[in-house]
Amino acid sequence: MSGILYHSWNIFDRDKIELFFYEKKLAMRLFKKIYCILFLILGMHFQTYSQWVQRNSLPGNLAVRDGAVSWVIGSKCYIVGGNGHNDLLEFDPGTQSWTAKALIPQGVTMFGMGFVCNGKGYLCGGNNQNFAYYSSLWEYDPQQDLWTQKRDFPTGKRADGFAFSIGDKGYVGCGDDSSFVYSDFYKYDPITDNWTPMPTFLGGYRMWPYAFAVDGKGYVGGGSQLSEMNDLWQFDTLANMWIQKSSLPGNARQCAVSFSSADYGIVGLGQAGFTNVFDDVYKYDPANDLWDPLPDFNPGGRAWATGFAYGDNIYMGTGWNFSTFYRDIYMLDISTGISTPNNNLNNVLAYQSHGSIVVEFNNQNDEFTSVELIDAQGKRVKNEDLVNCDQGMQKIYIPCNGIPTGIYFVRVVAANESVSLKMMVNEF
């Protein structure tokens, strides 16, 4: 495998590093306390959030699982497979109802990699109930409730890696094939059904990392090499390169929940040493390269859980804490962290009129202003840049043809400050 970095090791051999994990846990607890003190001393602030609220659990007592994939497509959220499962469950955030959809054609699929492109969900790799690994890529069309097999992952069998989407492309990397652990990275084009090798992940080989994408850039970190990690790397699609960012402030971990929510990345839960599970959750702000703690996941720590964001809310659930498998789902309202108070914009209003989204605002400075439309997954789908925006009341029209029905955020940015509004957009 020339050009692909990998490492061969026994992923379940932990005897030699038990003492290391004990010392690291003590050090990380001390680090977390110091981090919180510095956070206050430096004049930063913690947002005030609501608490986690239980939503309707996955249907049926046999629905417990870990290692599932999640998608958000339009106005619906999906949980895909997981340990012992080949099902696809659709969740309606408005009604809290679950609907069973077409089964995964290859059967039980857990620890796969999932992403969304062009209104369709993709399930890459994973393994079955006997830990036989898949190399497959499946596309799910929610309009037809139909699975279609696509071109296999280019290097063969793979599970326990990361995936995210940027624009109309999917990205998959790292993970293992039961013999080797990888640091490779590939881009998938759904239009041509082709995979393209990308720059090797500079964080090195690893399995079970966390990953998300915000504003046209991908973020990967954590997971496990010979021990857990808490780093973070940004992939810049324009520069085609990896850049290291601020590390997760909590314990190093693998098997965490991770996804994007509007302008932020969300990372939480997970485990270390196959003995300790975590209940802390964090929000990452890419614009300022800062982490902000969210309320701890009050149902308790767990690993291999799943999560997603819809509107102002983030959801987490399922997973395993080494004694119990779960089928629950909890919701946290993070709306207090979405709008940024400022002195340059006021009277911001957004609404849909005929074939356009109309954004009105009172601009206090005659300088560059940007108006963006961001979907529930944190992807920018439309934007209007005003290089010389006049002072006073402004009205901007954003064509919404081709935009699927769903929850969106309108963000107005001026003088490095922003206001974000949530709105429902109906397909035109």
> pLDDT value at position 365?
66
Residue that the structure tokens 């679950």 belong to: 98
pLDDT attached to residue 424: 76
Burial 149-188 (b: 16+ CB within 10 A, else e): ebebbbbebbbbbbbbbbeebbbbbbbbbeebbbbbbbbb
**Strand intervals (E) in 93-209:** 97-100, 113-117, 120-124, 137-141, 146-150, 162-166, 169-173, 181-182, 185-189, 194-197
- Supply the mean pLDDT for the chain: 85
Q: What pLDDT is stored for residue 31 in this prediction? A: 40
Distance CA 119, CA 138 (A): 14
Q: What is the pLDDT of residues 50-90, one digit of tens each?
A: 689 999 999 999 999 999 999 999 999 999 999 999 999 99
CB distance 392 to 362 below 8 Å: yes
pLDDT, tens only, 333-348: 987 544 444 555 666 7
Q: How far does Cα 152 stand from its chain's mean position?
A: 23
- Cα–Cα distance measured from residue 233 to residue 207, given in angstroms and rounded to the nearest whole number: 15
Task: Report CA-CA distances (Å) from 27 to 23, 33, 251.
Answer: 6, 10, 9
Asked whether 279 and 264 are in contact (CB, 8 A), the reply is: no
Q: How far is CA 206 from CA 175, 181, 222, in A?
A: 6, 6, 8
Alpha carbon 391 to chain centroid, angstroms: 37
- Tell me: pLDDT of 112 over 80: yes
